[in-house]
A and B are shown apart, each in its own frame.
Chain A
Amino acid sequence: MIGGRALAAVALLALGGCATANGDPRDPFEGVNRGIYRFNDIFDRALAKPVATAYRDYVHQEIRDRVRNFFSNLADPFIGVNNVLQGKLEDGVLDWARFAFNSTIGLLGIHDVATDMGYEKHNEDFGQTFGRWGAGPGPYLVLPILGSSTVRDGLGTGLDFYADPLGEFRPYRLQYALWGLRFTQARADLLDASRILEEAALDNYVFQRDAYLQRRRSLIYDGRPPREPRQDEEPEKSGAGVNLARAPDVDTIPGNDPHD
């Protein structure tokens, strides 16, 4: 990851990264990141969100469910590959079974019959695989359009795109239409969540960044991350009667934990 980190550092410094106000050690490129974040926000307000809202309001839920299932099914083979790469052979085989059932009985994936049969959907990607192998996240990055990432997850996303079966679709006009549809569907699914996030956050950028970093850490451990060590142990009990030291902590500097 050192190579990746250095590469990203050079690339971002070339873009004119400036020092950050708060100097969060997880986010050394905060200045550039905030710039891209603002750009993404404008893009979202001007295009992505209105299109996704229209999609949700005018396309019947039944059809939206079929569309979601179709793209979800296309992703299952590589979710399986990632599970196998992470040593979770059984989960990987289950993902391929999902793909087999949904592609056939489920009519090219538009019906998620596998979930009804008890094969649960998993969430894996190359970024998580690298994390499982011990790669730390590296500095936080905001990617144009794609949003929150890290050096590790950004490299993972590159591989994800490279491996994506949508890239095989021809003619290209069909392929681009499908990318557009998938993006719209994904954004539509996040409409409620993004509204709640805006309501909850004092600083949307910070709130989203911290949520992303926490979420990725949780995903790498499949929802069971170990409690992070605190840098400084608090006295046993706070005034409120809850042990501060046992609370999850995002302040820990990455690198203290070999997996994060």
Chain B
Amino acid sequence: MTKAGLGLVAALVFAAAQAQETPPDVLVKTVTLEVVELIAKDKEIRSGNRNKLIGLINEKVLPHFNFTAMTALAMGQNWNKATPEQKKRLTEEFKTLLVRTYASALAAYSEQKFDFRPLRAKPTDTDVTVNVRVLQPGTQPVPIDYSMEKTASGWKVYDVMVGGVSLVANYRTEFGNAVRESGIDGLIKSLQAKNRTAEGSGK
């Protein structure tokens, strides 16, 4: 292979690596704007088709979240007491709950303006917080902070803080109470029940 050819291959490999390693702040901005634009263009979603919105989130947003990590953080100490099967089911139910909550929030606030803050992190950092602010007329902007960790498959969100409230931390007491009262299977059952009622009414 010629030198030029080698150079080209190296450049391509480098470009591929770059594409996979989208910086976390760029990732958040791109995905947010893309989803907001898709919602704005979709009449069915705007008139309240919840399942279609959830489908959109599953396709566009979900790949960038690490739900196993979120569930582990929300479970705290109890995570280590769960069997692999329980962990799987917990993660699945928690994911369903979070996606639906996220869909509601998006439906309510997608028309607001977003202010994407520059990332304050070193290039070598593997755990960063990406700050976004939702600007609303007449009130203080609402900060949305994404805690993100660098993984082999790109940056993944493992917590979202809205107005200083960590979603994952906010579930910790609830999960702890449920496990104390009725065990890990009891918690799985209440999550399932919660998801089922929401499916019935949240259409």
Chain A interface (Cβ < 8 Å from any Cβ of B): 21-22, 24, 65, 68-69, 72, 112, 115, 120-123, 189, 192-193, 195-196, 199-203, 206-207, 210-211, 214-215, 217-219, 223, 225, 232, 234, 238-244, 246-251
Min CB–CB distance B203 → chain A (angstroms): 12
Flag the segment in B36-44, B54-62, B190-198 that touches A: B190-198
Closest chain B residue, CB of each to CB of A123? B140
Inter-chain contacts of B4 with A (CB < 8 A): none
Q: How far is the CB of A2 from chain B (nearest CB, A)?
A: 26
| Chain B residues within an 8 Å CB radius of A192 | 104, 108-109
Instruction: Establish whether residues A247 and B73, one from each chain, have CB atoms under 8 Å apart when the complex forms.
Output: yes
Distance of A217 Cα from B87 Cα, bound (Å): 31
Q: Quick one: given A214-B164, A214-B165, A241-B149, are A207 and B170 in contact (CB under 8 Å)?
A: yes
Say yes or no for B86: interface residue by CB 8 A criterion. no
Closest residue on chain A to residue B197 by CB atoms: A199
How far in angstroms is the closest Cβ of chain A from B48? 13
Report B168-188 CB contacts with A as 1/0, cut-off 8 Å: 111111101110110000000
Contacts of B23 in A (CB 8 A): none
* Contact residues in B for A215 (Cβ distance below 8 Å): 163-165
Partner of A196, one of B66, B105, B171, B174: B105
* Cβ contacts A to B, 8 pairs, < 8 Å: A199-B198, A200-B97, A201-B174, A202-B178, A215-B165, A238-B72, A239-B79, A240-B66
Chain A-chain B contacts (Cβ-Cβ < 8 Å), number: 136
Verify A242–B76 contact, CB threshold 8 A. no
Query: CA of A69 to CA of B137 in the docked complex: distance in angstroms?
Result: 9
Q: Is the CB of B73 within 8 A of A244?
A: yes
CB neighbours (8 Å) of B68 from chain A are 239-241
Is B63 located at the chain interface by the 8 A CB criterion? no
Point out the residue from B66, B161, B173 that lies within 8 Å of A210, measured CB to CB: B173
Closest A residue to B170 by CB, please name it: A210
Q: Is the CB of B173 within 8 A of A189?
A: no
Q: Assess whether A239 is in contact with B141, with CB atoms less than 8 Å apart.
A: no
Contact residues in B for A115 (Cβ distance below 8 Å): 137-138
Q: Complex formed: what's the CA distance from A121 to B109 in Å?
A: 19
Whether A199 touches B104, Cβ cut-off 8 Å, given contacts A215-B163, A241-B66, A247-B73, is yes
Give the chain A neighbours of B174 by CB distance below 8 A.
Answer: 201-203, 206-207, 210
A223 and B108 form a contact (CB under 8 A): no
